[in-house]
Amino acid sequence: MPPDAVVFDLDYTLAVPRRDRATLLAEALDAVDAPQASRQEYLDAHGRNLTGESRAPIFAELFEGRATDADPEAAADAYRAAIADALEPVDGAAGLVADLREDYRVGLLTNGPVRAQHDKIETLGWTDLFDATVVTGELPAGKPDERAFRAVLGALGIDADAAVYVGDEVDADVRGATEAGMTAIQIISPDGPAPDDRADAHVDRAELAARLPAVVARLSPDCD
């Protein structure tokens, strides 16, 4: 039988920046006279700060031990504004979600601080697009922790074995979803991770709207 629910990741699954994140980060740091940090340094700090209200703790960690008077909260605000200005939906994403809601419960589970992720959702005009929206900043833990997946499943009123998770990251999305008992579809893109064999299916991001409904329909949540 097909699943009862489809849950999406947000970043690089349903929405992407028009400009690369490393450039946006560099410009935001420059705007507040902060020392530069690499995209990987940012991602490492982000991975240790998946909960909370804002990205300020991420920037506080990046600034630690560096000679700077830059305000981490100001850096967080500058980076949030830069991303909002650059963010755009994947082609057909909103229509895809609306169409899926005719047959399934549809949720969003996204890693990150509360203000940062809700700002993206509002910028995209997707506040009411999903049956349930969960931002890990509001939780005790982020993906791949099972508690994050249980939160969105609970909000949807669906058991893990009746749900499919759609995301691009190997660890946070594919591993996290499968270990939580969900079926996983990995989104593939030229700049993203390679296909992971733990995913039950793979869909190219450029073909998301065209291909995903058929892939979901033929997946049984308890398939091998």
Kindly report whether the global pTM for this prediction surpasses the value 0.85: yes
Domain locations along the chain = 5-17+88-218, 21-86
The CATH number fitting domain 5-17+88-218, selected from 3.40.1350.10, 1.10.150.120, 3.40.50.1000, 3.40.190.10: 3.40.50.1000
Q: Higher model confidence: residue 191 or residue 102?
A: 102
Looking at residue 221, what is its pLDDT? 55
- Compute the distance between CA of residue 170 and CA of residue 7 in angstroms, rounded to an integer: 16
pLDDT of 190 higher than 80:
yes
Residues 6+ apart with CB under 8 A from 171: 144
User: Residue 32 in contact with residue 75, Cβ under 8 Å?
Assistant: yes
- Average pLDDT over the chain, rounded to whole? 94
Q: Higher model confidence: residue 52 or residue 2?
A: 52
pLDDT in tens, 47-68: 898 888 899 999 999 999 999 9
pLDDT band at residue 223, thresholds of 50, 70 and 90? very low
pLDDT band at residue 224, thresholds of 50, 70 and 90? very low
